[in-house]
Chains A and B, each alone.
Chain A
Amino acid sequence: MRIELKNFTKTFGELTVIDRLNLTVESGEMIALLGPSGCGKSTTLFTICGIHRMNGGSLHFGDRDVSDLPSQKRNVGVVFQNYALYPHMSIRDNIAFPLKVQKEDAATIARKVDEIAELVHIPELLERKPAQLSGGQQQRVALARALVRKPDVLLLDEPLANLDAKLRLEMRSEIRRIQLETGITAILVTHDQIEAMSMCDRIALMKGGKIVQLDKPDEMYANPADQFVAGFLGNPPISFVDASVVGDTFVLGAGEIAVSANLMGRVPSQLQLGVRPEYFGPQFGSGVAGKITFVETQGRENLYDVTLQNGTVIRSIQPSGQSFALGDQVSWGIDTDNVLAFSANGDRI
């Protein structure tokens, strides 16, 4: 079911948290609401499911205007960060609750619960109580309960935040698998860019109650709309370097690189360059000189901080097994085709 938010505005008293936000999620798509803490992700999500009232704008599910419908009539499944299972009920009763509320007959309920338990891989847990389950299993139950009455829309508020690293990895692909298998339209709220990039078809990056960019993950990574987006996506993060343009070269603090063909003639004399760590290193020649001030071993790769003479730090990521050490003086190159240029106020050039 297609979700369409038009000019959605939300205020808490004097404070405008969301200001005329527009967002369309296509049917069957999974979209991520990504952004720093306090940017209004949860507020947007809770408005879509009806916990919050809108102060302006409209919300459509398909052709249906649901702006003023109470939560109960919206047919939205929600998974909360702490799962919100009903502690006094067995897992079976938890999952059956939405159906019992709809007064379906016992046989149908039993069949549907078994089906959905099969889908989320928990058929053997149905007779237990929530307290007897691990975090990952509770998560699956929460998903099953949200999905059992075939909602039009599935909303997930930081579903992985309470899990340890290994389970998070597992549930990441599980949630995506279940979403694809059911073909449900889903919105995932997260502040973890890796989660957003790996699970979703598109990412809506939010900042201060606005959507800064809405794009496919790889597209957003390669073509960020502004400096904020470039800095938010990518781990290890991008490095920003002040540069000035002299002829057809960028002059950095300690070295210079050629202006790439696609930027030629469009750049102001003073600007900021964004260099992703994978585009800085000895394989791109030399010319940018500095000292290695930090080395982080990550197993497959090593992460280096190179501090230029003027104090600017550029990060580099290299396959492990190289002989660079802390304190070495190096002169590495930058892949000029993949340099991102930003004007002084952060806009992409």
Chain B
Amino acid sequence: MKSNFKSWPVIVVLTLVSLPLLIMFTFQLVDTFTNPIPGSIWPESFTVEHWRFLWEEPELGRSSIWVVTWNTFVFAATTAVAVTTISLTAAYALSRLNFPARRFFLGGLIILHAFPTITLIIAIFLILQFLGLYNSLIGVILVKSALELPFGIWIMKGFYDTVPWEIEMAGVQDGASRFTVWWKLVLPQVQPGLSALLIFSFLSGWSEFVLPLVLAPGNEAQVLSTYLSALILDDTKPDFNLFKSVGMFYAIPVIAIYLIFQKKLMNIYGGGSKG
């Protein structure tokens, strides 16, 4: 492809801007495999001892990293699936069906979308406690999904709005039920939005910190972000290299997902959010 402007100046600028981040990441990675000498930049010896948390028995009072990782995965995946399925159906209704109070729901969606939901945390805390879901993974999943929904519905509505209604009418004329039309004809058109939303809400769940911290502080429901924070708060035996390694371990799936799915993620900015 030939573009109408030179690309190297752009690349230079972008490289300069992201250089500090790259350097920091490189050093973090290097630090997790070496033993530093205080005061010197260059490391001395290679070691895997900072990664021993992956295979050693956890210390007393700490959860196993694998249990925590599994929790994080369950949390992120369930949230992503819930947000995506509900957004898919709710956004279709908002985009296409002429039901009572449609305008009210649309308005509510925009308000919730822009609302600083963290201010609700105390109320949510009380509700969860009342329901007996405090300190459980299910509780956090429910809350996280609910908070992500306005964004998901809004994005999916943008995608549905771009599907011409004649396609649906043609499907109905061809004898298909409304459900078949949605499933076979409309969903494939919004599929880019669907996968982007799925990945996006998975990542959002994976990196969620405040909700698990406040709503499920116990050890059973610990996720990687709260594990990490507990690690650094534990000032009886600070171990910064362990902290860096766990941080690295926590970031690897995110980096991998971005590398694999970057094209799909861009769709959210391309196709969605058209009023």
Contact = CB atoms under 8 A, between A and B. Distances in A.
Interface of A: 49-51, 71-72, 76-78, 80-82, 84, 86-88, 97-98, 101-102, 145-146, 149
Contacts of B173: 49-50, 71, 76-78, 146
Contact of A84 (B170, B184, B188): B170
A88 B188 contact: yes
B174 interface: yes
19 contacts: A50-B172, A71-B172, A72-B172, A72-B176, A72-B177, A78-B169, A78-B173, A80-B169, A81-B166, A82-B164, A82-B166, A84-B166, A88-B188, A97-B176, A97-B184, A98-B174, A101-B175, A145-B174, A149-B175
A88 B189 contact: yes
A280 to B, nearest CB: 45
A49 B189 CA distance: 25
A148 B177 CA distance: 18
Contacts, number: 51
B161 to A, nearest CB: 16
Closest CB pairs A-B (n = 4): A84-B166, A98-B174, A84-B170, A88-B188
Interface string B56-70: 000000000000000
Nearest to A74: B173
Nearest to B177: A72
A232 to B, nearest CB: 27
A1 to B, nearest CB: 16
A21 B177 CA distance: 30
Nearest to A87: B189
Interface in B148-197: 164, 166-167, 169-177, 180, 184-185, 188-189
Interface residues of B, number: 17
Nearest to B180: A101
A80 B170 contact: yes
A51 B166 CA distance: 11
Contacts of A49: 173
A76 B177 CA distance: 15
Contacts of A77: 173
B170 A78 contact: yes
Nearest to A79: B170
Contacts of A86: 167, 170-171, 185
Nearest to A70: B172
A80 B168 CA distance: 11
B169 A84 contact: yes
B189 A98 contact: no
A84 B164 contact: yes
A111 to B, nearest CB: 18
Contacts of B172: 50-51, 71-72
A87 B166 CA distance: 12
A209 B184 CA distance: 36
B175 A72 contact: yes
Nearest to B172: A71
A157 B245 CA distance: 65
A347 B222 CA distance: 86
Nearest to B163: A87
A163 B174 CA distance: 24
B45 to A, nearest CB: 57
A346 to B, nearest CB: 37
Contacts of B169: 51, 71, 78, 80, 84
Contacts of A71: 169, 172-173
A81 B164 CA distance: 12
B189 A101 contact: no
B50 to A, nearest CB: 49
Contacts of B177: 72
A50 B171 CA distance: 13
Nearest to A72: B175
B167 A98 contact: no
Contacts of B176: 72, 97, 101
Interface in B183-227: 184-185, 188-189
B166 A98 contact: no
A87 B186 CA distance: 10
A77 B167 CA distance: 14
A102 B176 CA distance: 8
A9 to B, nearest CB: 21
Contacts of A145: 170, 174
Contacts of A81: 166
Contact of B167 (A76, A84, A102): A84
B174 A97 contact: yes
Interface in B46-61: none
Given A50-B172, A81-B166, A84-B164, 13 more contacts: A49-B173, A78-B170, A78-B173, A80-B166, A82-B164, A82-B166, A84-B166, A87-B189, A98-B175, A101-B174, A101-B176, A101-B180, A149-B175
B256 to A, nearest CB: 28
Contacts of B174: 97-98, 101, 145, 149
A171 B189 CA distance: 29
A348 B7 CA distance: 72
Contacts of A78: 169-170, 173
A80 B160 CA distance: 20
